[in-house]
Amino acid sequence: MTTTDSHGGEPPLFGPGSQFDEFFNDPRWALAIVRATVLEAAHPQIGAALVDNSTFVAHPWRRLHNTFLSLQRMFGADDAVREREAKRLNRLHARLSGADARDRPYDAMDPHVRAWVVATLFESTVAMCRFSGQPLEQTTMERLYTEFQAYLAALGDQAGHLPPTLQEFWPYFDRMVEELEDTEALRIILYKLFDHLPAPALLEGLPTVWAAGRAVAGPVLGAITVASLPESLRRRAGLPDFPGARTLAQSAYLAMGLARFLPDGWIQADVLAGLLAMSPDSDDPRARTVAAVRDGIKRAGALVRLITPIPAQPETAAPGGGRSAEEFFRTVLDQTGDGYLDWPDLAAMAREVCGRLDLEEPAETMLYNAFAAWWKELQGALDSDGDGRISAEEYAAATPGLAGPALIKLADVLFDATDADGNQSIDADEYRALFRTCFQRDMTDAAGTYSRSAFVKDFLSFTAGRRPSRAYDPLFAQA
């Protein structure tokens, strides 16, 4: 079922013809999303939830791809897809609660918190037009605001969590900005993420080239973002005010806005986000094209190393090569990037699998429960100092004995979730749903399918952490 025009010729709230649809593939929106994320991170509850649970530091490109996919589903024309995505988001948010370093509780289902997330997206979209010298007309803003209100309503939130009119929104936004803080999450985004942004999967073979570009782009992106924030937040958080930064921000928005005049189809936000998250081993033709370009750049890497002060970094290990327990801990297990393994890391793995397979209840809960049981098994076996989490040293000291009953059970549950038709084997379509790449023929049995025993064996081999996996590394390890 699709959204239809039921308001006497008024534009639809979702899908083609909506105001949001016109902005979705606007390249300026990339900067607006970053700005909105910083405004969210400065909210005490959201900032605490991000630090405790989010993978945005260790896996930013995967997070970007998933965010664009979710927005595409929620703002698309299909009502059934939107309802399904809203239920998924609500289940995800219901699992995110806790307390910050000052023992203040946070809950991702708090309606006022959810309203602030939507408010930052709307206000940052308006701001991007203002910064690029093309401020929205009043009627356009009102239409866009109505669409974001409908987005919040689609999540099941009652009216009133956002002001009912655009005129009332701006005092609300100003009041909320005054309640924002200099949170740890805000600092991580501005001063760690931009400066240490990992390379997307397709460029992992060019560490020196990536580092050289990041050394220039990271600080510039940080300065643009800071300059675009409300002045009161910048002052309260003690953010630097570089001379000319606001002019730089306006120039960046204006320059990116010029890309809107490229031929239709050249700029597709979801396609670009998917490309950045794509594995180098993907059978997608775009991956092969990028890989060919990457190989050409790689041959020029020696010259880049000669003219830059950035030290050379080790190349990614080739498939089939060994890796240390510490590397497996850092790239696979520590999903949040905080240097420790605890439940949020394994919950992030569960979220990624559930998202790829588009699981609904009860399969989603079964998978989460299996990951939770594995976490308890790991904690009981490896948490030698009893601090409730596992360090890289604790993990490395006990890696050989990790294949316990809970992990084996997890492998079985993961197989059942992937085996969508329940015929006790994984075919090419089911394989692609999980791994986003072609069927690996070397994994198949005599019948040409991926059997339960082979799947469980490969998963346990991967979790042993000693050798890279062409299948599982893109699922759990890539940024």
DSSP state of 78: B
Q: How far apart are CA 204 and CA 16, in angstroms?
A: 36
What residue type is assigned to position 214 of the chain? R
The 10s digit of each residue's pLDDT in 425-444 is 999 999 999 998 887 766 66
Mean pLDDT computed over every residue of the chain = 85
Give, in order, the Cα–Cα distances in Å from 418 to each of 414, 459, 469. Answer: 6, 13, 18
| H or E element, residue 83 | helix 79-94
Q: Whole-model pTM?
A: 0.85
- pLDDT at 312 (0 to 100): 46
Looking at residue 225, what is its pLDDT?
93
d(CA 29, CA 313): 32
Low-confidence ranges of the chain (pLDDT < 50): 1-7, 304, 310-320
Per-residue CA distances from 128 to 24, 92, 125, 362 (Å): 13, 29, 5, 41
Whole-number pLDDT of residue 161: 85
Q: What is the pLDDT of residue 215?
A: 85
> What are the tens digits of pLDDT across the range 103-122?
999 999 999 999 999 999 99
Is beta strand 425-426 parallel, antiparallel or unpaired with respect to 450-451?
antiparallel
Q: Which residues contact 233 (CB under 8 A, 6 or more apart)?
A: 39, 42, 177, 180, 239
- Tokens found for residue 137: 């007309």
- Return the closest-CA partner of residue 166 out of 182, 133, 143: 143
Which architecture characterizes domain 325-476 according to CATH?
Orthogonal Bundle (1.10)
Q: What is the pLDDT of residue 1?
A: 40
In this predicted structure, what is the pLDDT of residue 212? Answer: 83
Domain boundaries along the sequence of the chain:
19-259, 325-476
Q: What local confidence, expressed as pLDDT, does residue 276 receive?
A: 62
Q: How confident is the model at residue 148, as a pLDDT? A: 96
Q: What's the pLDDT tens digit per position in 371-401?
A: 999 999 999 999 999 999 999 999 988 765 5
